[in-house]
Amino acid sequence: MNRVDLNWDDNEVLPDRLRPDVEFLFGRMSRATVEMVDPHPGERILDIGCGRAIDIVNMSGSGADLIGIEPSFVMLSHARETLKLNGYNTAVLQAIGESIPVAPGSVDKVVCKGALDHFADPDRALKQMAAAIKPGGRAVIAIANFESLGFKIGKIIFGCRKLLGIKNPYKRLPWELPPDHTIKFDYRNLVGMANRHMKVDKITGVSMLCCTPGWGDMLDTLPAGLTRFIVKSLDGLSRIFPMLSDVIVIRCVPR
Ligand SMILES: C[S@@+](CC[C@H](N)C(=O)[O-])C[C@H]1O[C@@H](n2cnc3c(N)ncnc32)[C@H](O)[C@@H]1O
């Protein structure tokens, strides 16, 4: 098993300024995830790999009993700061998804957003999620799709550029595995892995073409209203064709 990076810090991976496509993606990814979790008062909900606890804050108004788990000391400290700033007293614990510190069948819902592809053993984490949820509960997982339409187009463009002898200006292309990831998820392997431990009963997509080389720069040159119209229209398409979307969100129920 790979070692867990206890000092992982999103400040080291996020750009200083988000392009409009990325900004839209982050917002929609959170909203789509929370919508699928559908938190209710009194429910015990676990956010696995909670990072800065953004989604805990997003769900806090629901009256659910929220708990975050996160291995990185740095992210735990960001999370506590976020919660304090927002006036919440939610528990965030240091733990990993492969060994969830709750009794079997003791939580109503688990959520894991943008994190499973950082885990040393995602399959084991899914097994743990299945064990943690009560009958009638659900797990919601949101993850980047490495077979998105944007990445497919990017691969073709960069393949042609290579044939023409044009030098690649990027250190790492967006469809190559980032150093802090352990696996490239796509529709097939995400649904396949989740179905081994639970039953995937709902799937949606979030955003399309985000991070295709040059796309964010092009959107940046357009009037804000037009950019918003384009990213929202593509997002509508992603819901119909989640296999091609930038992020896939799945809801799983126990078997
Ligand atoms: C990209 S961040 C996503 C954070 C948060 N869920 C969000 O959407 O803002 C991925 C997080 O997964 C955490 N992580 C890495 N390995 C983990 C593991 N084995 N179990 C739980 N969390 C893990 C990282 O420390 C990091 O905070």
Q: Give 75-95 pLDDT, tens digit per residue.
A: 999 999 999 999 998 889 999
Please state the rounded mean pLDDT for residues 203-219. Answer: 93
∠ CA 93-58-91, nearest 5°, is 20
Give 210's DSSP letter. T
**Within-domain flag for 136:** yes
| CA terminus-to-terminus distance, the chain | 27
Helix 224-240 vs helix 20-37: crossing angle, to nearest 10: 40
**Within-domain flag for 1:** no
**Within-domain flag for 176:** yes
- Band of pLDDT at residue 168, cut at 50, 70 and 90: confident
| pLDDT single digits (tens) 132-159 | 999 999 999 999 999 999 999 999 999 9
Closest by CA to 235, choosing from 247, 225, 224, 226, is 247
Ligand 1 midpoint to CA 72 (Å): 8
Ligand 1 midpoint to CA 175 (Å): 20
CB 8 near ligand 1, within 6 Å: yes
Q: Residue 137 belongs to what H/E stretch?
A: strand 133-144
Closest by CA to 190, choosing from 227, 143, 153, is 143
Which domain range does residue 77 map to?
A: 10-253
pLDDT at 163 exceeding the cut of 60: yes
pLDDT at 187 exceeding the cut of 90: yes
Q: How far is CA 239 from the centre of its chain?
A: 16
CB 122 near ligand 1, within 6 Å: no
Is pTM, for the whole model, over 0.75?
A: yes
**Within-domain flag for 183:** yes
- Band of pLDDT at residue 229, cut at 50, 70 and 90: very high
Ligand 1 midpoint to CA 119 (Å): 8
For ligand 1, mutation pick of 5, 12, 66, 72 (most atoms within 8 Å of CB): 72
- Give the Cα separation of 134 and 103 in Å (integer): 10
Give 109's DSSP letter. E
Please state the rounded mean pLDDT for residues 31-57. Answer: 98
Based on the structure, what is the number of domains in the chain?
1
Q: Are 79 and 68 in contact (CB under 8 A)?
A: yes
**Within-domain flag for 2:** no
**Within-domain flag for 67:** yes
**Within-domain flag for 4:** no
Q: Report the pLDDT value the prediction gives residue 2, as an integer from 0 to 100.
A: 59
CB 113 near ligand 1, within 6 Å: yes
Q: Is the dihedral of CA 85, 86, 90, 96 positive or negative?
A: negative
**Within-domain flag for 81:** yes
Q: Environment class of residue 162 by beta-carbon count within 10 Å: exposed (0-12), middle (13-18) or buried (19+)?
A: exposed
Q: Report the pLDDT value the prediction gives residue 241, as an integer from 0 to 100.
A: 98
- Band of pLDDT at residue 213, cut at 50, 70 and 90: confident
Average pLDDT, rounded, for the chain: 95
Q: Report the pLDDT value the prediction gives residue 171, as an integer from 0 to 100.
A: 86
Q: Report the pLDDT value the prediction gives residue 233, as an integer from 0 to 100.
A: 98
pLDDT at 1 exceeding the cut of 70: no
Beta-ladder partners of 251 = 140, 202
- Band of pLDDT at residue 109, cut at 50, 70 and 90: very high
Quickly list DSSP for 213-232: TTHHHHHHTS-HHHHHHHHH
In the chain, pLDDT over 70 holds for what percent of residues? Answer: 99
The bridge status of strand 247-253 relative to strand 199-206 is antiparallel
CB 120 near ligand 1, within 6 Å: yes
- Tabulate helix, strand, coil % of the chain (nearest 5): 45, 20, 40
Please state the rounded mean pLDDT for residues 39-61. Answer: 97
- Band of pLDDT at residue 15, cut at 50, 70 and 90: confident
Give me the CATH number covering residue 180. 3.40.50.150
Q: Are 25 and 206 in contact (CB under 8 A)?
A: yes
